[in-house]
Amino acid sequence: MKGLSKTRSALPRSGIREIMDYSVNIPDVIHLEVGEPNVDTPLHIREAAYAAMNEGFTHYTPNAGLNTLRESIVTHLQKQYGLNSKVEEIVVTAGAVNALSASVLSLVESGEEVLIPDPGWPNYEQIILSQESIPKRYKLNPELGFIPDTTELERVVTSKTKAIIINSPGNPTGGVLSEENIKEVLAFASKHDLYVISDEVYDGIIFEGKHICPLLYDTEGRVISIFGFSKNYAMTGWRVGYAVAPQHIAMTIAKVLEPLVSCASSVSQKAAEAAISCPQDFVEEMRSIYKVRRDHVYKLFEEAGINAYKPKGAFYMMVDLSDVIPDEKNPAIILLQEAGVAVAPGATFGSTTKKMIRISFATEDSKLFEGVSRICNFVRQKRKNIVKGDSEHVS
């Protein structure tokens, strides 16, 4: 029998999913590895879906999505960010990851390069490799807030580079790009004639500063902005996202959706319409909750003398365990085995964070704080053992 596709068979798995699978048979595990809000979708959104089913919204929609939802998105973007988008520039997708993959397929040929952040969400690499394009990582410096640096971008760009992916607020870092940062990236993209794919799925979860949408400063038609409903509205299972792009790019993205998914779920689109059209009280309430959790968790790590990077947005925190984990060991596996805490391994996000872990604070308070306490106790014990080992060696 002929073999499977070598390209697709060789795709790296997400280290987050590997930890999830590995933890199944371990008792009393506290899960801090997955980025999913710990609350159900708000009632008014669920009721809108129920009403949509009863009203017959159970059929195919246009590839680009329901016009009513696209119109609501236009209104939302104008209100939130002052964007003057057109309905024809909006493409509704089956989740933000579908928008990302369709965007890359629309822009990038096999063999061309796409710059992706390091650390960055592992799906970027998977999406690019799956279509036989080439991911090239640009490093984000933790000491600079995990923000793209043009010197580093210039180091990795080549004549084969077609696009750059940026992410703000960042996963896994929580880094938030300022207006100046955005303008620098756009200037770099213009200089090298690159498209900019801007992942903005955490745009409603910012603790310091504000979200800057690159579309505001795109005068050349280079930017595709990707948004979602999963994180802001606790709608991970509904699978709705959208891309905002110049009309000719949006038309191609919509065309690409046909062989991928045809269209997003009609019922989910009506639920998303309710989410984005109603007052954004839920988004603000959850943002406030996440901020309280962030501050408390950061304080726990600080008191334990553990180097954690305080995020400005999203609901993740990177934690450096390099002083207690041997070079050849995966800190996430060690924590799972010895402390009963499931966290995302830093290596799945890139080479710069191999000795770090990512925790999600989109977790109910009791489990979150207990999990972080376990991590702190684990580090304290490891440090004692290291000191004891050194003393025994000296004697």
Domain 6-40+282-384 falls in which CATH fold? Aspartate Aminotransferase, domain 1 (3.90.1150)
Do residues 300 and 372 touch, judged by C-beta distance below 8 A? yes
Residues 269-302 have pLDDT tens digits of: 999 999 999 999 999 999 999 999 999 999 999 9
Do residues 265 and 241 touch, judged by C-beta distance below 8 A? no
> For residue 163, which of 139, 182, 184, 136 has the smallest C-alpha distance?
136
Query: What does R_g of the chain's alpha carbons equal in angstroms?
Result: 22
The conformation of residue 383, written as its DSSP 8-state character, comes to H
The encoded tokens of residue 371 equal 């999990």
| pTM for this predicted structure | 0.95
User: Is 392's pLDDT higher than 60?
Assistant: no
Domain 43-277 falls in which CATH fold? Aspartate Aminotransferase; domain 2 (3.40.640)
Residues 121-155 have pLDDT tens digits of: 999 999 999 999 999 999 999 988 999 999 999 99
Q: For the chain, where do the domains classified as CATH 3.90.1150.10 start and end?
A: 6-40+282-384
Distance CA 182, CA 57 (A): 39
Distance CA 179, CA 216 (A): 10
pLDDT of residue 389: 64
pLDDT of residue 328: 67
pLDDT category of residue 14 using cuts at 50, 70 and 90? confident
Please name the helix (run of DSSP H) or strand (run of DSSP E) that holds residue 74, with its range, or none. helix 67-81
pLDDT of residue 394: 41
pLDDT of residue 11: 87
Please compute the mean of the pLDDT values over residues 84-102 and round it to a whole number.
98
Distance CA 138, CA 15 (A): 20
Residues 160-219 have pLDDT tens digits of: 999 999 999 999 999 999 999 999 999 999 999 999 999 999 999 999 999 999 999 999
Do residues 222 and 28 touch, judged by C-beta distance below 8 A? no
Mean pLDDT, rounded, of the chain: 95
The pairing of strands 344-345 and 356-360 is antiparallel
Please compute the mean of the pLDDT values over residues 102-122 and round it to a whole number.
97
Q: For the chain, where do the domains classified as CATH 3.40.640.10 start and end?
A: 43-277
